[in-house]
Amino acid sequence: MPKPSLFAQDDVYSRSIPRQAGSRVAHSGAPYDFGVAYPDPESLPLAELAESLRVGLEEEGRGLAKYPHPSGYPPLREYVAEKLARDRSLSVSPEDIILGDGSSQPNHMIIEALMNPGEVVLTEEFTYPGTLGILRRFGADIRGVACDREGFLPDALEDAIRSASGEGKRVKLIYTIPTFQNPLGWVMSLARRRHLLETAQRHGIAILEDDCYVDLRFEGEPVPAIASLDTDGVVVYVGSFSKIIGPGVRLGYLAGPSPLLDRISAIKSGGGVSQLGALAIHRYAVSHLEEHVRSANRILRRKRDAMLAGLADGFGELSDVGASWSRPRGGLFIWLTLAPGVDMQAVADRALREGMIIFPGIRLSPEGNSGHNCARLCFGYDPPRVIREGMGLLAGICRREAVASV
Amino acid sequence: MPKPSLFAQDDVYSRSIPRQAGSRVAHSGAPYDFGVAYPDPESLPLAELAESLRVGLEEEGRGLAKYPHPSGYPPLREYVAEKLARDRSLSVSPEDIILGDGSSQPNHMIIEALMNPGEVVLTEEFTYPGTLGILRRFGADIRGVACDREGFLPDALEDAIRSASGEGKRVKLIYTIPTFQNPLGWVMSLARRRHLLETAQRHGIAILEDDCYVDLRFEGEPVPAIASLDTDGVVVYVGSFSKIIGPGVRLGYLAGPSPLLDRISAIKSGGGVSQLGALAIHRYAVSHLEEHVRSANRILRRKRDAMLAGLADGFGELSDVGASWSRPRGGLFIWLTLAPGVDMQAVADRALREGMIIFPGIRLSPEGNSGHNCARLCFGYDPPRVIREGMGLLAGICRREAVASV
């Protein structure tokens, strides 16, 4: 019998990495999949992506024999710079951009570059669990700040900074998803963006602006990126092609001040991002992306409407569970809140047994202690009919759970 | 005038990341490019890769709308497991494999998972600078161990372990490139592999077996992977498609004991590797890769022969510079050694001015203090005629430098 592996011994590992195992299991779908923020699968431009790659390889495929540029394929960075100028009023040069695997690697690199254990990070009162995981791994003291539908409440933000300083702790970073916030769905107003930026500048706090849902706007007018208002170089901006072309491609980017990019280049893992993916995305994006985003948004809008209609149908009469929900003007999420007594983890467990995946709010809670009666519902993946049906099923489960919790 | 960026202040950064900037400049080629380990650019299977991706997207492209499996596309891991069994006598299941961006991300993750600052890593007396950079970043005390053409000298290996222990330092890891070693070119013999493994098992030291050149064999018989001989679970194995399909694709893998993979999954950046790249590589590899490797190796062999012939022509009569060089049976590198007094950095600087890139030996020295009179010459990229011509030019430069150094 072989001896247990050397790697089964705890002391073979670095003291600075997590003790717990990471997941090595794929997200397994369900008949009603409202769990993960997928874009619409039917509108994926598969034939066009393959054709774009064919053309790209014909034109400059020999470059695959070389290592990619450490910051990623230069023409794709040029495209991103033009897109940011056009869509986000953000003036950056291709040299101010680093491509990464999705938005997750850029977020990871920024957090790794900045955070010492015990330093404070402020986030929205609920936020993206992937980033929470990275922040926890680097030992951040994460604190959620109360929000309304325009973003951080200014007093709450000031209080959080004052309170951390009072404890002798440095607030190093504010992590925000200002546009179609995950999971709350709102868009931070221009006034709040200005206030947030001014506050961060005054206190010398960096801002990580995670704008990965910005292209998914169904209604209303764009609000300029926080980074576009920044005169002091405190903001680093992250974007992604995951939600507009597909998360499987793993292509995102960060744009920020040059000294930060110098440091990030020194810790980037895996070299420059895949030239195969970058060629395909670049050739596709320059000729097709704007039209594709418009048509994908028409589909997403119908899905959002199906979820809103399903929620109204299912919960309209259920005043006993006190249901309310967000009405986002874009993005992929609806945030459902029930009466304070209802345990959404129990709802999610029961839903899973009936073939439905939802995310209980506590998984998006910065301190892991709020949102017991809330859930995030993603409307990007299933067809409208299934979404509407699913909301009826969910309302039934919530009602049974509310009765059980009395 | 805008204020200097917050990110220009040193104290905004984590204390555990490097102070120096990483490179944000591409490797710029030269008429004679012997600097970076590129495979042959002419034999890249561009049309086949594009067609493989087209077929892959047709068959299961909808999966791009989801996040990839955290360990990477399962069918590609199945292919890797079969390839390792067939080519490396290595029995692993697809669950024992994690795909990464090239071999560099797997190497990065393994080192990050294991190393605490000040712990000792043993390497061959010269080794891959990319890994040296990662080891330095995580604070490893790196020590080169003397080698002959069969690998580590057994006594030198034992001495290095004893000497570190005598200083109260833990030897955590042995990093080895046992097959077509970068830069020395030899293949570690089976007896030495057994000795290395037995030594590591006896002392409880992990082995990182970086086998990314193994497919590039022009002559002789394969030697089993060290991992295939491992009964105690001390070896983690790294491989790559970079040298057989193209580094631009950024696809490699690691295979190792399950507890290590659990930890690595918890620190992996960027999620599962690009599904676009994985689909293209998988569909291509199952039907074309073996034949492609055979034909690419015929080309590489001609290039090696051109370099050997050019060295013999150029240096044959130059007993004044005391030139000798390796005659590898595969891989991408020839290691050139001149008389001890010759400064290869000066040769490299002069060569660059004449349009030639070579890597001076000191850049591959674990302690950064040896190989002053050595250089690594990569023969994968340029055509044979250019290689042969380049060696004549190099010999002329070495002669002038040798005269100057007297």
Mean pLDDT, residues B335-364 taken together: 96
Residue A347: is its pLDDT beyond 90?
yes
Mean pLDDT, residues B60-66 taken together: 89
Residue A99: is its pLDDT beyond 90?
yes
Residues on chain B touching A98 (C-beta within 8 angstroms)? 24
Backbone phi, psi, residue B118, to 5°: 90, -15
- One DSSP character per residue, A303-370 reads HHHHHHHHHHHHHTT-GGGT-EE---SBSSEEEEE--TT--HHHHHHHHHHTTEE-EEGGGG-TTS-S
**Closest partner CB to B14 (pick from A116, A256, A261):** A116
Considering only residues 98 to 157 of chain B, which have any Cβ-Cβ distance to chain A shorter than 8 Å?
Answer: 98, 100-102, 104-105, 108-109, 112-116, 137-138
Q: How confident is the model at residue A1 (pLDDT cuts 50, 70, 90)?
A: very low
Residues on chain A touching B216 (C-beta within 8 angstroms)? none
Residues on chain B touching A229 (C-beta within 8 angstroms)? none
**Residue ranges covered by each domain of chain A:** 28-45+292-405, 46-288
pLDDT given for residue B134 in this prediction: 97
Q: Is A69 on the interface with B (CB under 8 A)?
A: yes
Q: Strand B324-325 and strand B252-255: pairing? A: unpaired
- Collapsed DSSP state (helix, strand, coil) of residue B97: strand
| Distance of alpha carbon A115 from alpha carbon A131, whole angstroms | 13
Closest Cα of chain A to B267: distance in Å?
7
CA neighbours closer than 13 Å in the CB half-sphere of residue B98: 35
Q: How confident is the model at residue B28 (pLDDT cuts 50, 70, 90)?
A: confident
pLDDT given for residue B3 in this prediction: 72
Residue B157: is its pLDDT beyond 50?
yes
Residue A168: is its pLDDT beyond 80?
yes
- CA distances from residue B350 to A74, A94, A239, B129, B317 in whole angstroms, order as listed: 30, 32, 43, 22, 21
pLDDT given for residue A319 in this prediction: 66
Closest CA to A34 of A306, A253, A318, A220: A306
Is the Cβ pair B270, A102 closer than 8 Å?
yes
Q: Which of the residue ranges A52-66, A312-326, B202-216, B349-363 would you say has the lowest mean pLDDT?
A: A312-326
Q: How confident is the model at residue B318 (pLDDT cuts 50, 70, 90)?
A: low
| Distance of alpha carbon A267 from alpha carbon A252, whole angstroms | 17
- Predicted complex ipTM: 0.95
The per-residue b/e assignment along A69-108, b for 16 or more CB within 10 angstroms, e otherwise, is bbbbbbbbbebbbebbeebbebebebebbbbbbbbbbbbb
| Distance of alpha carbon A395 from alpha carbon A383, whole angstroms | 18
**Sign of the torsion formed by the C-alpha atoms of B75, B255, B183 and A72:** positive
Closest Cα of chain B to A403: distance in Å?
35
More confident residue, B321 or A202: A202
Considering only residues 342 to 401 of chain A, which have any Cβ-Cβ distance to chain B shorter than 8 Å?
Answer: 381
Please state which CATH number belongs to domain A28-45+292-405: 3.90.1150.10
Residue B273 contacts residue B251 (beta carbons within 8 Å): yes
Closest CA to B254 of B263, A99, B246, B245: B263
Q: How confident is the model at residue A403 (pLDDT cuts 50, 70, 90)?
A: confident
Query: In terms of CA atoms, which chain B residue is nearest residue A170?
Result: B12
Q: How confident is the model at residue A58 (pLDDT cuts 50, 70, 90)?
A: very high
Residues on chain A touching B253 (C-beta within 8 angstroms)? none
**Which residues have a Cβ under 8 Å from the Cβ of A318 and sit 6 or more positions away?**
A395, A398, A399, A402
Is the Cβ pair A271, B250 closer than 8 Å?
yes
Residue B257: is its pLDDT beyond 80?
yes
pLDDT given for residue A402 in this prediction: 81
Q: How confident is the model at residue A317 (pLDDT cuts 50, 70, 90)?
A: low
Work out the burial of residue B80: count CB atoms within 10 Å of its CB; fewer than 13 is exposed, 13-18 middle, 19 or more buried: buried
- Residue B363 is encoded by which pair of tokens? 């850049």
Please give the mean pLDDT across all residues of chain A. Answer: 95
B46-288 domain in CATH 3.40.640.10?
yes
Residue B336 contacts residue B323 (beta carbons within 8 Å): yes
Q: Is A282 on the interface with B (CB under 8 A)?
A: no
Closest Cα of chain A to B382: distance in Å?
11
Residues on chain A touching B4 (C-beta within 8 angstroms)? 233
Residue B97 contacts residue B71 (beta carbons within 8 Å): yes
| Cis previous bond, A183, omega within 30 | yes
Residue A216 contacts residue A300 (beta carbons within 8 Å): yes
Closest Cα of chain B to A40: distance in Å?
7
Closest CA to B338 of B379, B388, B365, B372: B372
B29-44+292-405 domain in CATH 3.90.1150.10?
yes
| H/E element, B334 | strand B333-337
